[in-house]
Structure 1
Amino acid sequence: MTGSFSVILDFIISNYGMENVFLKMYLINLILSAVAYKLGFARKLSIGKNIFVYLMLAVGTYITTIFSIMMLPMTESLIIIVLVLAIYRARLHFQRKAKNAS
């Protein structure tokens, strides 16, 4: 470990080397960002608006990946965001299910 805050980046560099590290981090961040968007903020949109939202998400993820390469814990933060939103959605689902059952 190099003493940075980015455990994921350190893991990728130590196990897979420096080749294509930006692309690997970009794909990880893009997937986590899309899941976080879908869990927490997604609404029913038309196909054109949906494409536009995901294109803007891809552009924003590029910036997030730059910060991640600079050894900031961006990927780790996205993992925590996804976990919290998943717990929230699961609890909401169970509450709605219990409300409909009664």
Structure 2
Amino acid sequence: MDINNMTFFAELYNVRENPEVGMWLLYITVVILSIIVFKLGFARKLSLLKNIVIYSFLIFGCTILSLFAVGLPIIEGLMVAALILIIYKIRLKQERKQQGKEA
């Protein structure tokens, strides 16, 4: 991976000059956005043990994604996915509310 072609967030978190802190910030951002996207799009009511297992694997997978986030727009893609899912949830809620008024 070419270190000269860094993504916006890699530059924002100053990965080139301070790689340790910058990578931790990238990792935390990827984890938070991944959890948001998972909760909005895929999460179901599960037992506590199943949730622990799922989030453990999610956090482990974010380790790999944060390495890719230096040169690929991973965080930007997660932000777009979260935005689309938020809009979808809002529209779904409005539609259900309107169907409730009609019935």
**Same fold, judged at TM 0.5 (above):** yes
| Alpha-carbon separation, structure 1, partners of 2:55 and 2:61 | 10
Q: Per-residue deviation at 1:9?
A: 1.3
Q: Residues 15-94 of structure 1: matches in 2 within 5 Å?
A: 17-69=18-70, 71-94=71-94
Q: Per-residue deviation at 1:93?
A: 0.6
Aligned-pair identity in percent equals 34
| Alpha-carbon separation, structure 1, partners of 2:82 and 2:27 | 16
| Alpha-carbon separation, structure 1, partners of 2:24 and 2:45 | 30
Distance 1:83 1:5, change over 3 A: farther
| Alpha-carbon separation, structure 2, partners of 1:4 and 1:84 | 27
Q: TM-score, normalised by structure 1?
A: 0.88
Give the match's secondary structure for 2:72: coil
Residue by residue, what CA displacement relative to the aligned partner does 1:1-20 show, whole Å, maximum 9, x if unpaired? Answer: x8736111111218x84441
Equivalent pair of 1:28/1:75 in contact (CA under 8 Å): yes
Residue by residue, what CA displacement relative to the aligned partner does 1:48-94 show, whole Å, maximum 9, x if unpaired? Answer: 0011000010011011001012x111111111110011101110011
RMSD: 1.9
Unaligned runs of 5+ in 1: none
